[in-house]
Amino acid sequence: MVFEEADLKGAFVIKPELWADERGFFTRSFCQREFEAHGLNPRVVQCSISFNHRKGTLRGMHFQGPPHVEVRLVRCTRGAAYDVILDLRADSPTFGRWVATELTGENRWAVYVPAGFAHGYQTLEDGTELTYQMSEFYDPAAASGIRWDDPAFGITWPAAVRTISPKDLSYPDFTWQSVF
């Protein structure tokens, strides 16, 4: 695996190295030792799949607050998504900044989302599926988010939003105080 540090402190785009032959290919998608060698949290306690019927579906921007702050490893297994991470760590040199990565079933990249980040994505194709590996168990009381179109951050989405949940629409504006 190739670990490329994103423009946000502690975040990475992880690209697989393929061993290909006439059968197809083989690649490693996760290795505890490699994550530890890059100073990343390798703990995985829960894995989830998010399937989206329609292009233009937006999910985000989500995070889990204390004491259940989590690291996420997000990968697109089918279709394509514009994946956005946002640094909400008040003590971080990249606090309040965001980056986007296009994840596809073809490129097989993953985004390592550090603890203290919000995460969301918009689908670029019908039938897009993403997988998540999380370092903490889901806790509904700690689940939270910020508005996907909060002017404080100016996230640029690639297309008009066609589908979004009422919960994602209900998040308040960010108030620039420490979440983590």
Give pLDDT, residue 107: 97
100 CB-near residues (< 8 Å, 6+ apart): 82, 83, 84, 85, 155, 156
Q: Is 132 known to be catalytic?
A: yes
* Residue 130, pLDDT above cutoff 80: yes
Single out the residue of 69, 76, 88 nearest to residue 8, CA to CA: 88
CATH number of 43-105+112-170: 2.60.120.10
Q: Which of the residues 82, 112, 121, 132 is marked catalytic?
A: 132
Per-residue model confidence (pLDDT) at position 39 = 97
The residue extents of the domains of the chain are 43-105+112-170
Read off the pLDDT of residues 72-100 as tens digits, 9 standing for 90 and up. Answer: 999 999 999 999 999 999 999 999 999 99
Whether 138 is catalytic: no
